[in-house]
Amino acid sequence: MASAFFMLYLKSFFRIIVRKNRRKPIYFLCCLIRHATLKVTLHFRLPMKTRENTFMQDVCSVVEAHLDDMDFNVEKLCKAIHMSTSQLYRKMEAVAGISAVRLIRLLRLNRAKQLLQNPQLSITHVAFKTGFGDPAYFARVFKKEFGISPLKWRHAYLRNKRSLNRKKL
């Protein structure tokens, strides 16, 4: 069962994505959730053809394999999936409604959220572990995407986790 904190987070994340991208199906949201190894039942189905689904899975798999590589970019992604840059951009826009750069950033930030759940890891370590070369840039991008700084997100997560543990006892 997903925590109340996660469900609030998911709703706010979904609202942000819909607000930023009204005209396309939000397939990559499912991709992010699946790759975050979070068990969440979504109450809607997104119309995706099998080929498009396979394409997005391949792209997400390649990006995840290179999350800690600071030099990983769209050109390297194109080489890994054997596509030209322009072809990848067109297909990503048609299938997911976002650019490849944005998908890479979102997957990195999602992985950063997983790592931030561990209080022993510093924010700087999390930034480097997720492929951001500059911790200040990481914090800026994180706050821009989620509306909260990485440190505050960690504190909110840990506070919610403690309150849930107390309720169970």
Higher confidence at residue 8 or residue 86? 86
Percent of the chain with pLDDT over 90: 50
Report pTM.
Answer: 0.70
79: tokens are: 């080489």
Q: How far apart are CA 159 and CA 154, in angstroms?
A: 8
82 CB neighbour count, 10 Å cutoff: 7
Domain 4-168 CATH assignment equals 3.10.20.600:
no
35: tokens are: 């790759």
71 CB neighbour count, 10 Å cutoff: 9
Q: Which residue shows structure tokens 């069962």?
A: 1
> Is residue 167 over pLDDT 80?
no
pLDDT tens string 129-153: 999 999 999 999 999 999 999 999 9
**Among 75, 67, 77, CA closest to 35:** 67
